[in-house]
Amino acid sequence: MWDWAHFKEEGWVSHTKRSAKLALLLLLSGAAMVLHLLVPFWQQPRSLQRDVVACKLCEGLEELRE
């Protein structure tokens, strides 16, 4: 059963914006990793590298807890 209670604290719109932003970041970084696999000399932009993406995901979770 789906629990809608998790929307009450932050609201549906901000939840959707945050989720869309994180999903887009994960999709872009995944595409950058595949491109890097196919073209080894190409370097991903710093914003799509795994350590930066991991930090952004952790920041998103920290914002949710607050």
Taking the CA atoms of residue 24, residue 25, residue 29 and residue 30 in that order, the dihedral angle to the nearest 10 degrees is: -40
Letter for the amino acid at 17?
A: K
Total structural domains within the chain: 1
2, part of any domain = no
22, part of any domain = yes
On the question of pLDDT at 2 being above 70, the answer is no
Structural domain boundaries enclosing 60:
10-65
Cα 5–Cα 53–Cα 62 angle in degrees, nearest 5: 35
Residue 29 CA to residue 22 CA, distance in Å, equals 11
3, part of any domain = no
pLDDT at 5: 67
Q: Is the pTM higher than 0.85?
A: no
4, part of any domain = no
